[in-house]
A = this chain, B = another copy of it.
Amino acid sequence: MAGQRKAQNVASDAPDLTAPRVGRRERNKQEKLARIVGAARRLFSERGFAETTTQQIAEAADIGTGTLFLYARSKEDLLVMVFSDEMLETARTAFASVDDAAPLLDQLVQVFSSMLAYHERDPDLARILLKEVMFPDGVGRAADISELLEVIFAGLADLVVRARDAGRCHQDAPPLLVAENLFANYYMDLLGRLGGQTTSAQFVSRLRQHLAITINVPA
């Protein structure tokens, strides 16, 4: 009967800083998810969305083809999973770096231009992303997306309120509705830009005019 069981000390498992609650199972899942997202990001960026197959992603992530769909409902889901964090961060940064003293119209153009800059790094991918953001098929994606939209709407509404408080804005409609109106215009102008119908300069020019109409100031 093997006498020495010292190595099996029961008490030694408690004080784990990094993952006190999670077992191997959870750790494996997280790691696999990370590998999947990493592989998808790399392949989508390198080859494009249509040119990347789910098989390739699965292989790059070193998992079976069926496993991929335990982590993402669809190929499009994967795209949103990969880039929604970046978009959210881009939006937050854009709002954080606004010049407080500038006219509202300039602030808005600045914010939206920052967002455009992000999308222009890969217009094709951005187009598909925009499509998925506004046309979420499953309910699962709604979470990521609504967080993004809420951040944008809240940021815009905040800019409007602050401009109004400082007497720099004469648009007295409810701020959230104004924010939605502004975003609708940004979205359409962005679509025109990513569709290749306008240049970057034309985008800014048109956007500025559209936003000016909404906040009721001269362009």
Contacts and interface: CB of A to CB of B under 8 A. Distances in A.
A102 interface: no
A185 B219 CA distance: 19
Contacts of A127: 135
Interface residues on A, range: 20 to 34
Contacts of A219: 173
A174 interface: yes
A42 interface: no
How many chain copies? 2
B210 A184 contact: yes
Interface of chain A: mostly helix, strand, loop or mixed: helix
Contact of A178 (B183, B187, B213): B213
Contact of A131 (B131, B187, B214): B131
| Residue from A127, A181, A183 with most neighbouring chain B CB atoms (10 Å) | A181
A188 B178 contact: no
A135 B127 CA distance: 8
Contacts of A171: 213
A134 interface: yes
Interface in A189-219: 191, 195, 206, 209-210, 212-214, 216, 219
Contacts of A188: 180, 183-184, 187
A12 to B, nearest CB: 51
A195 B146 CA distance: 13
A96 interface: no
Nearest to A186: B184
Interface string A141-183: 0000000000000000000000000000001011001101101
5 contacts: A173-B212, A177-B206, A177-B213, A181-B213, A181-B214
